[in-house]
Structure 1
Amino acid sequence: MYRLSGTGSDLCSVMGNCPPDHRTPGDWLLLGRKTAQALAEKGDSEAMYALYYLTNNFDWIEKSAEAGFPIAQYDLARLYDQGKGFFFTPWKRSERVEELAKKSAEGGCIKGIMLYQNLLEGKKDIEIYWTKKAVALGSAEAVYAYGSGLAHVPKDYGYPLDLVKGYGFIYMLLELDGGGGLKEYAEDILPDIASQMTAKQIEEAKAFAKEWKATHPPLSFFPPKLGF
């Protein structure tokens, strides 16, 4: 409903031949607000999140984050980081941003994991821990970061050297054909990784990739549902 409320004029509106039950973007907006409001009043945290975008009422995204909706926690952390909301001292703002990012990451939100990682400056062990979590959830970006890190290509980012797994993770990215540039990156660095490996290791890496795909979620870029 939110996306329908933001569309431009339908062709039938321009042509003047819409069916009797046709809804305009304004109709979808009102219906979306009504539907989400009813669910939010029953404690539905996702409905609270939707209401923020349907009404532009900042209270709703704060309520959704407080109710534990991971995507709302990520969005609210970003909004606070950009200066939204009031905090008596600057460090309270940064503390709240990190707290929300951590909660979002713990809730399995890929964007939350990435944001939390960015806030973990100098804490490499914890950052690697969250990269592995994102990899397990199917984040294509995390797979690239983890695979290239394990292979130490283009350089050592603090990951233990594992050419077989590194090659295997990057090899999986060759199947991505929906944009994002990761397939091209994979094609670029795979020869560099392979140059350090034996033929047997490369076959082991491909077998690892095949097993991983069979036991984990498919790779995704995880675009946002409503927000940014």
Structure 2
Amino acid sequence: MKKFSSTLILIAIFSTLLFSFKVFAEISPEQLKAKEKGIELYNQFKAISATPYLKIAAEAGDHEAQYYLAEALRKNNKYITPEAQSAYEASALQGDIYSMIRLAENSDDLCVAMENCPKSRKTPKEWLNMATDAASAAASKGDAEAMYLMFRITNDDTWLEKSAENGYAFAQHYLASGYQGGKGFFLLPSSRAEVIERLMKSSAEGGYPQGMMSYAAIRARKKDFDTFRYWNEQAAKTGYASAVFGYGSYLSENPSEFGFPHDLTKSYALIYSLLELDGGGGVKDYAEDILPEIATQMTAEQIETAKKLSKEWKESHPPLSYFPDKL
């Protein structure tokens, strides 16, 4: 009887400790806000500005923030620093496959040539095995993103095709882009074109902004301008910087080659919103080039109205992003 009671006590203590750990591992609303801001800046190619925000959530134990922090540090320094290594490992040990893959690639990092790679808890091969096991287990349960990660791990196109077939929008765009570049075998050129269009359409419908723009371009070449306009606007609404620029530019044309309405106020508002992208990517330069041209057709009052509309657009839509490949 005494032994049974001791067992119950041990179970109770273990459960309490486990519960306490889970509470500790959860991030607060403030930490979540910092994480989201950090990822937003990172996706705008502002890795230096993103770092302090990502650190807040990373230090609280968030594995995704740890991964993005490590990525920001690696890109800022051009190689994996000890701080980046520590963040990758903390993330990987929580099951983050992206971090495992990055650690598995460490043997190709610039730090190897510099002979100053930080000490790792595991070898690149051990991290690779860990990534393979984790991704394979998730893929076997139907996780389409994990199937894509298996492709990145193995370089086996079968996994990329499976990921696309199972609805991962990024993989659908990736695979279609490969086919556009000549990858794969098709009996007829028309068959290749049909598969590319089907994949790009699925990617667009799956919510991937670059898929939206690629599908729009296919339809434009077929003179289907209604579909082109629709997907260009939808991509802009996701915050995709290139699409915002394209949509804004088309609205300034009179007449419009693709049938967009002539709306200088909205055109100026959208292009003006891109001026915050001062971290790279080139879109800000394009915006600065075209804004004066649009302004010459507007009154001072219309420009002020456009700036207010730009602020309203920003508040009612997702943050601007280049949507870079997470790997």
Amino acid aligned to 2:240: S
For 1:15-44, what per-residue CA distance to the aligned partner results, in whole angstroms no more than 9, with x for missing partners? 69836xx12222221111111000000111
Whole-angstrom CA distance in 2 between matches of 1:46 and 1:16: 30
Matches within 5 A, 1:1-228: 1-7=100-106, 8=108, 14=115, 18=119, 22-120=121-219, 121=221, 122-152=223-253, 156-158=256-258, 159-226=260-327
Residue type at the aligned position of 2:210: K
Residue range with higher mean Cα deviation, 178-187 or 78-87: 78-87
Per-residue CA distance 1:46-71 (angstroms, 9 max, x = gap):
00010001011111111111111101
- Per the alignment, do residues 193 and 14 of structure 1 end up closer, same or farther by CA in structure 2, a change over 3 Å counting? closer
Question: In the alignment, residue 123 of structure 1 is paired with which amino acid?
Answer: D
TM-score between the two structures when normalised by the length of structure 1: 0.90
Number of aligned positions between the proteins: 222
Provide the C-alpha distance between the structure 2 equivalents of 1:33 and 1:164, rounded to a whole number of angstroms.
52
Letter of the 2:257 counterpart:
Y
What is the deviation of 1:97?
0.8
Structure-2 change in CA distance of 1:87 and 1:207 (3 Å): same
Distance in 1 between the 2:283 and 2:293 partners? 16
Question: 2:105 and 2:277 mapped to 1: Cα distance?
Answer: 30
Question: How far apart in 2 are the matches of 1:32 and 1:195?
Answer: 56
Distance 1:94 1:17 in 2: 47
Q: Matches of 1:211 and 1:42 in 2, distance apart?
A: 42
Give ranges in structure 1 of 5+ residues lacking alignment. Answer: none
Cα 1:116–1:16, aligned 2, differ >3 Å: closer, same or farther? closer
Which segment is superposed worse, 54-63 or 81-90?
A: 81-90
Give secondary structure in 2 for the equivalent of 1:95: helix
Mean CA deviation greater in 69-78 or 177-186? 177-186
Query: What code does the residue aligned with 1:187 have?
Result: E
Cα deviation 1:185-221 (Å, max 9, x = unaligned): 2112211111111122111101110111111111111
Return the structure number with greater helix share. Answer: 2
Aligned to 2:11: none
Residues 199 and 60 of structure 1: CA distance in aligned 2, closer, same or farther (over 3 Å): same
Please give the alpha-carbon distance, in whole angstroms, between the structure 2 residues aligned to 1:197 and 1:72: 43
Q: Which runs of 5+ in 2 are unaligned?
A: 1-99
Give the whole-Å Cα distance in 1 for the aligned partners of 2:242 and 2:310.
16
**Shift in Å at residue 114 of structure 1?**
2.0
Against the structure 1 CA distance between its residues 52 and 114, is the aligned structure 2 distance closer, same or farther, given a 3 Å change threshold? same
Q: Give percent identity, aligned residues only.
A: 50
Highest relative contact order (Cα 8 Å, sep 6+), 1 or 2? Answer: 1
Instruction: Give me the whole-angstrom Cα distance separating, in 1, the residues matched to 2:281 and 2:295.
Output: 23
Helix, strand or coil at the partner of 1:119:
helix
**Kindly tell me: are residues 30 and 192 of structure 1, through their superposed partners in 2, closer, same or farther at Cα, counting changes over 3 Å?**
same
Residue type at the aligned position of 1:34: D
* AA of the residue aligned to 1:174: L
